[in-house]
Amino acid sequence: MKKLIYFIIIAIGFSSCVDLDLNPNDRPSSGTFWKTPEDINLALTATYGSMRRNMWSFSTPCWDNLTDNSYGQHAEGQYGLTTNMVQGNIDPSSGGFVSEVYLGALADIARINIFLSKLKDFSGLDSTVKTQYEAEARMLRAYYYSYLYRGYGEVPIVSEPLTLETQYQEKKPQAEVYKFMMDDIDFAIANLKDATYSGAKGRWTRNAAKAYKARMILYTAYDDAGNMISSKMSEAKTVLSEITGYSLAPDFSDNFIDVKQETSPEIMMSIKFLAPNTTTSADMWYADWLVVSPLLNFMEEFEMKDGTPGTALPKKAGSKFTLDTETFTNASLANRDPRLAKTVFIEKYVINGTEYTAGNAKPTGAGLAKFLSSNLTPPYGYSTLSQQDWVIMRYADVLLMLAEAENELNGPTLLAYNSINTIRTRAGMPPLPAGLSKDDMRKRIRHERRIELAFEGQRYFDLKRWKTAKTVLNAVQDAPVVYKFEDKNYLWPIPQSEIDKNQGKLSQNTDYK
């Protein structure tokens, strides 16, 4: 049976540094809370609850709308305002991801800092348990800082609860932000439980923290010209080589289908949901509303079943970006890498063998099938209580990162081949051909990352860390809008609203002044 940490949002001083002289009887106050070990555990649980924000959880696929994988037809802020962003319309007043990541991450970090402060002063816990709780909270803080670091570079480092005197913070250099984040991760690795995902029941574990550490090391492992930094690659490979106890799930889709997630040997960390208490809008968003529309060039990236390059897909007459769904249908997907049919649908989504027509416009003729529920009754709508857990880290990514680090350091060795072929074999694809050069293997690894991890929120950050974002995104020709990525877009502006209210202490990123 699927299990869940119930994320209890309670009045424990998470939203204010000022105590009001009020004691409502229906909820604990900051004066009556923090008294028992159970209070501390509930407070930690509440910090995990912040991970259910859309942008960290079920709107994760929308991050791919910033890439060559897909297009987002909606302009509402909850979808990241990606239509504006891919056209290069990014400025200090931008909404969507540009403002929400900054505001959301710092709000969640503030809650964690309050928890850590209360935990430090609490004497009613065994020291081992207390250290474990600190490790979990600091890993959560590092998770939020990883988005601030990759999004804005220079941001305030907030390690203590803010007061009226300290609420205005200046930015710190990017290197200091990275060190602060990695110090939290290292503390977590040293003190988290050495448990599996199923055993940890939704909490951070040592191996999951190691995998996330490797992800962040690799984000810094290429210079501005896209050349690998050997010391960083070696560091990442060492961390990845220490990860044990995980394997690939029998089927690629087991990681995303609600009824299979709890027993997947591949998931290392996820954000948990359980209806009716905590639900998502994922099925409605992606099946009916088509919040994410896969681009043709993305679908063409999938190889044919025999491992040969994917052929061009037929376009609707007179269109550069819409699939001809009369000649290419869901049945046509069977000729490609099997992961394609498990990732997209053509015109109509298929649940348990029955096709359903998506309600919204279909800009490219395709929709996102990867995360749809097979145990809920379509057509999906407002009443659909989706409860997929949202995967943050899985073992396939560990194998892909290991292959990347190994190839960059030593070329296409047996380790690099085996890491990729393990994933391809699970997918039902033939192994890579022998005799690949280092450059050829690099292309294959990047291809596998794009295919295997599609819509899991990694493509945008991969393009940025490889320093290929400008080349790749400006070459997109099959989207309803013209893509534009400038060098300055490797970092985002600090939201102007935050600049305005920080009394001159917070300065704007240079390229957006």
Write out the two tokens for 249: 């799930």
Distance CA 472, CA 489 (A): 14
Within 13 A of 251's CA, how many CA atoms are on the CB side? 13
Close Cβ partners of 121 (under 8 Å, ≥ 6 residues apart): none
CB 81 within 8 A of CB 75: yes
| Rounded alpha-carbon distances, angstroms, from residue 135 to 188, 195, 209 | 4, 14, 10
- The whole-number pLDDT of residue 21 equals 33
Q: For residue 19, is pLDDT > 50?
A: no
Q: Would you say residue 368 lies in a domain?
A: yes
Per-residue pLDDT band for 172 (boundaries 50, 70, 90) equals: very high
3-state DSSP of 301-331:
CCCECCCCCCCCCCECCCCCCCECCCCCCHH
Instruction: Report helix, strand or coil for 242.
Output: coil
Q: Would you say residue 123 lies in a domain?
A: no
Count of CB atoms situated within 10 Å of the CB of 261? 23
- The whole-number pLDDT of residue 123 equals 92
Return the bridge partners of 270, or none: 391
Mean pLDDT across 123-152: 97
Look at the chain and report how many structural domains it folds into. Answer: 1
Query: Residue 40 CA to chain centroid, in angstroms?
Result: 28
Q: Would you say residue 353 lies in a domain?
A: yes
- The whole-number pLDDT of residue 28 equals 54
Instruction: Report helix, strand or coil for 212.
Output: helix
User: No. of H helices and E strands in the chain?
Assistant: 18, 8
Residue 289's nearest CA partner among 380, 419, 217, 365 is 380
Tell me whether strands 293-294 and 70-71 are parallel, antiparallel or unpaired.
antiparallel
Mean pLDDT of the chain: 93
Q: Which amino acid is at 116?
A: L
Q: For residue 17, is pLDDT > 90?
A: no
Question: Any idea what the Cα angle at residue 279 is, between residues 273 and 283, rounded to 5°?
Answer: 110
Report the share of the chain in percent with pLDDT over 90. 88
Distance CA 470, CA 480 (A): 18
Q: 66-95, pLDDT tens digit by residue?
A: 999 999 999 888 899 999 999 999 999 999
Q: Would you say residue 346 lies in a domain?
A: yes
- The whole-number pLDDT of residue 8 equals 38
- The whole-number pLDDT of residue 33 equals 85
- The whole-number pLDDT of residue 16 equals 34
Mean pLDDT across 484-511: 95
- The whole-number pLDDT of residue 52 equals 94
Sheet strands (E) in 441-500: none
Q: Would you say residue 332 lies in a domain?
A: yes
Looking at the chain, how many residues does it have?
513
**Long-range own/partner contacts, residues 486-490 (CB < 8 A, 24 or more apart):** 486/88, 488/512, 489/88, 489/90, 490/464
- The whole-number pLDDT of residue 198 equals 82
Return the bridge partners of 355, or none: 350
Q: For residue 448, is pLDDT > 80?
A: yes
Q: 25-61, pLDDT tens digit by residue?
A: 445 555 678 989 999 999 999 999 999 998 999 999 9
Q: Would you say residue 316 lies in a domain?
A: yes
Distance CA 83, CA 72 (A): 6
Mean pLDDT across 439-466: 98
Close Cβ partners of 54 (under 8 Å, ≥ 6 residues apart): 78
Q: For residue 20, is pLDDT > 90?
A: no
Percentages helix, strand, coil for the chain (3-state, rounded to 5) are: 45, 10, 45
The pTM of this model reads 0.94
Q: For residue 201, is pLDDT > 90?
A: no
- The whole-number pLDDT of residue 186 equals 98
Q: Would you say residue 289 lies in a domain?
A: yes
**Long-range own/partner contacts, residues 245-248 (CB < 8 A, 24 or more apart):** 245/196, 245/207, 246/196, 246/207, 246/395, 246/398, 247/395, 248/395, 248/396, 248/399, 248/422, 248/423, 248/426
In this structure, of 14-23, 370-379, 448-457, the range with the lowest mean pLDDT score is 14-23
Q: 85-126, pLDDT tens digit by residue?
A: 999 999 999 999 999 999 999 999 999 999 999 999 999 999
Count of CB atoms situated within 10 Å of the CB of 122? 17
Sheet strands (E) in 160-317: 267-271, 293-294
Mean pLDDT across 348-376: 95
- The whole-number pLDDT of residue 199 equals 85
Q: For residue 290, is pLDDT > 90?
A: yes
- The whole-number pLDDT of residue 129 equals 95
- The whole-number pLDDT of residue 143 equals 98
Q: For residue 305, is pLDDT > 90?
A: yes
Q: Would you say residue 114 lies in a domain?
A: no
CB 248 within 8 A of CB 242: no
Instruction: Report helix, strand or coil for 126.
Output: coil
Q: 324-338, pLDDT tens digit by residue?
A: 999 999 999 999 999
Query: Where in the sequence is the domain holding 302, given as residue range(s)?
Result: 282-388
Close Cβ partners of 53 (under 8 Å, ≥ 6 residues apart): 104, 108
